[in-house]
Amino acid sequence: MKKFEVLETHLGDKLYKPGDPETGTRMAEPDEVRHLVDLGVLKPIGSDDDTAQAGDDANAKGSAEDAALIADLRAQIASLTTERDDAREDAAELANKLAALDKPADDAEKPADEPSPTTARRGRGNQ
């Protein structure tokens, strides 16, 4: 396992945010998060390969066009992350509204000491 600095907000086994004292770094197997390192979401911390990684990044970016493309892709990822989080909040609100609408109105208005219509028909009410 290696320690990685979180450069971009992302969802792994939990939500990771850059600069956050609890989630600003994460431990992971390098092979499991290589795609996140390649996208610039994570950066290895304290590895012997830091110099090699920096050289690889420079070679991978190569030109100003590549750097602009990488910046654009990172912005798209951030935007999609925000949209996803907003959609989750909207879905939770809608689920709560639906649950409130699904609750029978007569249950909400009935006093606690009155038997339900089903119980009264069975002869169990007011005993």
Predicted pLDDT at 5: 92
- DSSP string spanning 51-108? HHHHHHHHHHH-SHHHHHHHHHHHHHHHHHHHHHHHHHHHHHHHHHHHHHHHS-HHHH
Tens of pLDDT along 86-98?
888 899 899 899 8
Q: What is the dihedral of CA 26, 30, 32, 36, to 10 degrees?
A: 70
- 109 pLDDT band, cuts 50/70/90, is low
- 47 pLDDT band, cuts 50/70/90, is low
